[in-house]
Amino acid sequence: MDIINILPDSVANQIAAGEVVDRPAGAVKELLENAMDAGAKQIDLVLKDAGRTLIQVTDNGSGMSDSDARLCFERHATSKIHRSDDLFAIHTMGFRGEALASIAAIAQVELRTRQHDSELGTTVLIEGSHITDQHPAACPPGTTLAVKNLFFNVPARRNFLKKDSVEMSHIEETFRRITLIHHDIGFTLTHGGKMLYDLKAGSMLQRICGLFGQPMKERLFNVEEETDLVKIRGFVSRPEYSRKTRGEQYLFVNGRFIKHPALSAAVEKAYADLLPERSFPSYFIGLQVDPSRIDVNIHPTKTEVKFVDDHALFAILRSAVKRALGQFSLGTELEFDTPEEFNIAPAPKGYNPPQPRISYNPDYNPFRATPAQTKMDLHGGGGSPRSTASADDPRQMPEDDAIAMPHTDSMEQRTSAQCLQLQGRYIVTAISSGLAIIDQQRAHERVLFDRMMQGAESTMPHSQALLFPVNCRFSAADADMLGELLPDLRGYGFAIDPIGQCTFVVSATPPDFKENELQAFLDQMLTDYKGATMQKYADRSRSLCASLARQMAVKAGTPLSQEQMQQLVADLFACPMADTSPSGKRIITIVKPEEILK
């Protein structure tokens, strides 16, 4: 008995569609690419319900003839290649002739198209691979393709779609990957009647700003290089604007977004040690290579690509980025190094520590430190005590010393004991069990954290409206998570609201919060939060408080007045877990009297 039969086209197309169009963003990509291949200079994308019910692309490109308007929905129908040799000189985005056939198999599609030299256009209606109508239509030159009710006949796929915000962020990412590199074409994106992007044709930098906001302009360096092998054009972020997550990293080859771990590594390598630990540069880099030097058999939904000359490309790209970074004298003004361990040189024999000459601010409250106060202290303090730090014979503090909890000390004694600041980061003071060496930043973190966890009204940070609200961008997943945390953050003095799928506007922060650190802070907070093993309420607030405390704590390198140090020490010793910071790092090391004697 024969059991093999040939699948009808509609079924074959539906199967193929599974590869090309797995979600609305897949259809968006194909339609935008077709419009670009048709030579359009303006392309408008309109969506409803994150593309579920409508994805419509209108272009002012070549348009199609009446019969092409039908033929384009056939499998392997393409005007872009004619013979296999053409595969080695691809200059268009598409060439497989699969996209429209696939989309028409799983949606209700309306095509309206007119060539520039025709008086009349044509409309074709097709659904589930069957043409249901075609008639002449009066329409402007170019093409409008509307995809309605995607997956209407594939319930399994329809049900597999994520909530609108997720589908929308996939679409926005697709939109960025296409529009970033095709900045000579105007694009708009409208969702549910609201225009989210209106990108005019212009330079790449203008396009980057159109997508990511105007502040990007000040954050980028230009990268340019031309060799026989490759032409490189693009932008990389200044090291101080690196991010805690690999967010805005875009590489393109011949107008196509690609993922290429080795080339990405080349860019990151160029930064070498200019970047703080675990932070990543943003980059937008287009490469132009001879099409015969790359593997053309690019899968429509995959972004991997193979180069014949990848070693040479790696070297060229790295040096181009390096040069872009090197043109500007960086490094000297950037201080990234925050050693984790205590490393204090003992005072030389017979050394008699002078009284610190440090300015005194009677109004100081460590939880309301304003930048102005910090600045004042920077000039007033930190003179003599630093001389001990430069003594020879540096020695590691013994780390295994048990911490004698100084509860035996009366409050009176503690607050009145003289403090000495070492290296701008340690406070040294006498307690009954010896000499306490306290990491000022961790100590302050602990104090702030405990206060926030107690939620004491008086110590809750107040809110301060920003003169210029700041936009922050996140990956789809991070944006979702941040959305969940917004009510909590409000409780700590932030006013953050979503605008667009992955962008949030911050209009208020706790006082003294540095605006330019907002993105970094929120990135770090989300990273911390992800790291928190459980997301029960208790852990959520723990994680938020720890992030906030870290952000707001007085940093190593900030000179403190005698009063400030005494206050901090007193507050620290009032904490039940004075010896470890919220993130589990050691705050105090005690040198016992016996050791001092030795």
> Choosing among ligand ADP, Mg ion, none, which partner's interface includes residue 437 (Cβ < 5 to 8 Å by kind)?
none
What SS3 class is residue 577?
Answer: coil
CA dist., res. 244 & res. 525, Å (int)? 10
Residue 198 pairs in a beta bridge with 188
Site for ligand ADP in 41-60 (CB under 6 A): 59
Minimum CB distance to ligand ADP smaller for 99 or for 223: 99
Minimum CB distance to Mg ion smaller for 37 or for 110: 37
Smallest distance from the beta carbon of 133 to ligand ADP, in angstroms? 19
Pick the piece of the chain touching ligand ADP (CB under 6 A) from 92-100, 146-154, 478-486, 529-537: 92-100
CB contact at 8 A, 199 and 188:
yes
What SS3 class is residue 211?
Answer: helix
Smallest distance from the beta carbon of 25 to ligand ADP, in angstroms? 16
Give me the helix-helix angle, 204-212 and 164-179, nearest 10°: 170
Strand 130-137 and strand 588-591: the pairing is unpaired
CA dist., res. 255 & res. 184, Å (int)? 11
> Choosing among Mg ion, ligand ADP, none, which partner's interface includes residue 361 (Cβ < 5 to 8 Å by kind)?
none
Question: In the set 24, 26, 61, 382, which binds ligand ADP (CB under 6 A)?
Answer: 61
Give me the helix-helix angle, 164-179 and 24-37, nearest 10°: 20
Question: In the set 56, 60, 62, 279, which binds ligand ADP (CB under 6 A)?
Answer: 62
CB contact at 8 A, 303 and 258:
yes
Minimum CB distance to ligand ADP smaller for 59 or for 127: 59
Question: In the set 46, 50, 64, 549, which binds ligand ADP (CB under 6 A)?
Answer: 64
> Choosing among ligand ADP, Mg ion, none, which partner's interface includes residue 258 (Cβ < 5 to 8 Å by kind)?
none
Does 80 interact with ligand ADP (rule: CB under 6 A)? yes
Question: In the set 23, 29, 52, 96, which binds ligand ADP (CB under 6 A)?
Answer: 96
Does 94 interact with Mg ion (rule: CB under 5 A)? yes
- Residues ≥6 apart with Cβ < 8 Å to 141: 60, 63, 114, 115, 116, 118, 121
Smallest distance from the beta carbon of 152 to ligand ADP, in angstroms? 19
Total residues at interface with ligand ADP (CB under 6 A): 24
- Residues ≥6 apart with Cβ < 8 Å to 482: 474, 496, 504, 522, 526
Does 143 interact with ligand ADP (rule: CB under 6 A)? yes
- Residues ≥6 apart with Cβ < 8 Å to 218: none
Question: In the set 42, 65, 79, 359, which binds ligand ADP (CB under 6 A)?
Answer: 79
Pick the piece of the chain touching ligand ADP (CB under 6 A) from 35-43, 241-249, 410-418, 568-576: 35-43
CA dist., res. 210 & res. 175, Å (int)? 12
Minimum CB distance to ligand ADP smaller for 35 or for 146: 35
CA-closest candidate to residue 21, choices 115, 127, 104:
104
Does 118 interact with ligand ADP (rule: CB under 6 A)? no
Minimum CB distance to ligand ADP smaller for 106 or for 479: 106
The Cα diameter of the chain in Å comes to: 105
CA dist., res. 235 & res. 483, Å (int)? 30
Strand 121-127 and strand 142-148: the pairing is unpaired
Pick the piece of the chain touching ligand ADP (CB under 6 A) from 9-17, 90-98, 233-241, 494-502: 90-98
Does 121 interact with ligand ADP (rule: CB under 6 A)? no
Question: In the set 16, 27, 28, 38, which binds ligand ADP (CB under 6 A)?
Answer: 38
Residues found near ligand ADP in the complex (CB under 6 A): 30, 34-35, 37-38, 59, 61-64, 72, 77-80, 94-101, 143
Residues found near Mg ion in the complex (CB under 5 A): 34, 94, 99
